[in-house]
Structure 1
Amino acid sequence: MAVQIKPLVAGNWKMNGLKAALGEFSKLCEHASADLAAATDLMICPPATLLGAMAASAQETAISVGGQDCHMAEKGAHTGDISAEMLADSGAVAVIVGHSERRADHGETDDTVAAKAQAAWRAGLGAIICVGETEAERKAGKAIEVVSGQLAGSVPVGATADNTVIAYEPVWAIGTGLTPTAEDVREMHESIRKTLAARFKEHGEGMRILYGGSVKPANAAELLAVPNVNGALVGGASLKADDFLGIAAAYG
């Protein structure tokens, strides 16, 4: 019997949003229906400057709040960094680690990502661990090999269905308007599921695997219906309440 997995639709605002954007978030909280919340978990990961205000605004609503990155240390002389404990203290329930933009812009390795995932667990946060191949890697026929290697190096021992979410984001589809075919997504998510199940047994069978990369209301229903796709990590479309809810409506 297949494991029943409640999907997660998470929005990554990236480096977008000033205090004026809190109105859009309030709109999202107001319009997230109980029926939709029963069908899928909903989360927004805003810039750290907005996280505390959003967490306070989201109390008693269907929306949870997460961070976009964390340092692996609990505290210390790390100017400009934010610890997982600080995120939790601000009201976050999870944190994205290993996003391709962090890997590319900040040189983060699989070992770094794994350490950040462990930091998230230490603070009581869920870790949303991102993996994904570049366009060159896909064209070379190495997409599954690359992602399997990232899973091996970025997901620490101790990962469970409760503390870890995997987000597959083909790097070439992030913010480009390009999307893989449903068959491409099916093949990759099936490979990820097999890898997780082989390593983590029943925890791997129940772990959520999100798809990310130019997800929008127009293509959400097709992408989120693919086997082993247990939700979405949404970029630009999460900045507007109507678009984000339009994606989540694939489950409602």
Structure 2
Amino acid sequence: MKNHKIIVANWKMNPSIFQGIELLKSINQSINEMKVSSKIVICPPSLIIRDALIIFSNSIVSIGSQDCHHAEIGPYTGDLSYKMFEDIGCEYAIIGHSERRANHFEDNKLIFEKLNSINRSKIIPILCVGESFVERKSGLASEAVIRQIDESGINKLEFDQKIIAYEPIWAIGSGKIPTRDEIMSIHSKIREKLDTEGNNKDIKVLYGGSVNTENVSDIFSINGVDGALVGGASLKKADFIKIIESAEI
């Protein structure tokens, strides 16, 4: 039986507003001409989420946020709540990306609060976990990843659907990725952890970190990889479509 992949595009703070809208339209046109069995999620900058929802209103593509605040409303200047994203029509939310952890000092306690809040909504969380280069070289990669899962609570919180994206910090934007065996090992450890706790039978585990057209077929062929979290390659229409096509083979 074919294992249908999940492909999540994380656009981060790219591109410009007008370029982003044109890219969304172009991707939509191409996907409408394809037969796609994979689940496609695009997480654009917040300012064009409404445009994305309109553009993909009759499409298989779902729209997600790149983050959210754990409070429903409140005095949090510059933040957007999970409820706001739900109300506008987002189906997914990326939580705990390493750039949020590093640049906004988000720790596992805050990530737990976000996941716990999202649990009151219909949004499907995509929890990002991954080790640093030092942790990888010290042989502590799996311990770091499992600790993030444990302390985030995603393995214990009861969601209808939930996703984990294993994205080694040192691989993001570097063009370097772990070996097949290293990816398989971490995914296996994640699955072992999930299988021992809570309602995690159907949870999907994605790989992220320098995913591109050259390596995606190999990544998708690794046992235990349910899809990909794609960064820079998702900002190029031709590359993103090739990645989607790779999941259909």
What's the TM-score bracket when you normalise by the shorter of the two chains?
Answer: over 0.9
Amino acid at match of 2:43: C
Amino acid at match of 2:79: D
Output the CA distance in 1 between the equivalents of 2:224 and 2:153. 18
Given the alignment of the two structures, is residue 184 of structure 1 paired with residue 201 of structure 2, yes or no? no
Q: Where does residue 43 of structure 2 map in the other structure?
A: 45
Report the 3-state secondary structure (helix = DSSP H, G, I; strand = E; otherwise coil) of the residue aligned with 1:151.
helix
Structure 1 residue 204 displacement after superposition: 2.2
Q: Where does residue 203 of structure 2 map in the other structure?
A: 207
Match of 1:146 among 144, 147, 152: 144
Given the alignment of the two structures, is residue 242 of structure 1 paired with residue 241 of structure 2, yes or no? no
Structure 1 residue 89 displacement after superposition: 1.9
Match of 2:126 among 125, 128, 144: 128
Report the 3-state secondary structure (helix = DSSP H, G, I; strand = E; otherwise coil) of the residue aligned with 2:67.
coil
Alignment check: 8 A CA contact 1:43 1:63 kept: yes
Unaligned runs of 5+ in 2: none
Alignment check: 8 A CA contact 1:95 1:127 kept: yes
Output the CA distance in 2 between the equivalents of 1:5 and 1:165. 15
* Percent of pairs with identical residues: 36
Output the CA distance in 2 between the equivalents of 1:217 and 1:174. 15
Given the alignment of the two structures, is residue 19 of structure 1 paired with residue 23 of structure 2, yes or no? no
Amino acid at match of 1:51: I
Q: Where does residue 100 of structure 1 map in the other structure?
A: 98
Alignment check: 8 A CA contact 1:69 1:95 kept: yes
Residues 178-210 of structure 1 show CA distances to partners (whole Å, capped at 9, x for unaligned) of 11111110011011011111112xx42321000
Report the 3-state secondary structure (helix = DSSP H, G, I; strand = E; otherwise coil) of the residue aligned with 2:165.
strand
Report the 3-state secondary structure (helix = DSSP H, G, I; strand = E; otherwise coil) of the residue aligned with 2:36.
helix
Structure 1 residue 120 displacement after superposition: 2.1
Q: TM-score, normalised by structure 1?
A: 0.93
Match of 2:63 among 44, 62, 65: 65
Structure 1 residue 5 displacement after superposition: 5.4
Report the 3-state secondary structure (helix = DSSP H, G, I; strand = E; otherwise coil) of the residue aligned with 1:217.
coil
Output the CA distance in 2 between the equivalents of 1:33 and 1:207. 28
Structure 1 residue 229 displacement after superposition: 0.4
Q: TM-score, normalised by structure 2?
A: 0.94
Output the CA distance in 1 between the equivalents of 2:206 and 2:169. 14
Output the CA distance in 2 between the equivalents of 1:182 and 1:58. 34
Q: Where does residue 217 of structure 1 map in the other structure?
A: 213
Amino acid at match of 1:26: K
Structure 1 residue 34 displacement after superposition: 7.1
Output the CA distance in 2 between the equivalents of 1:123 and 1:197. 24
Amino acid at match of 1:44: I
Given the alignment of the two structures, is residue 232 of structure 1 paired with residue 231 of structure 2, yes or no? no
Structure 1 residue 59 displacement after superposition: 0.5
Alignment check: 8 A CA contact 2:119 2:157 kept: no
Given the alignment of the two structures, is residue 158 of structure 1 paired with residue 157 of structure 2, yes or no? yes
Output the CA distance in 2 between the equivalents of 1:35 and 1:159. 34
Output the CA distance in 1 between the equivalents of 2:243 and 2:149. 26
Alignment check: 8 A CA contact 1:99 1:131 kept: yes
Alignment check: 8 A CA contact 2:63 2:92 kept: yes
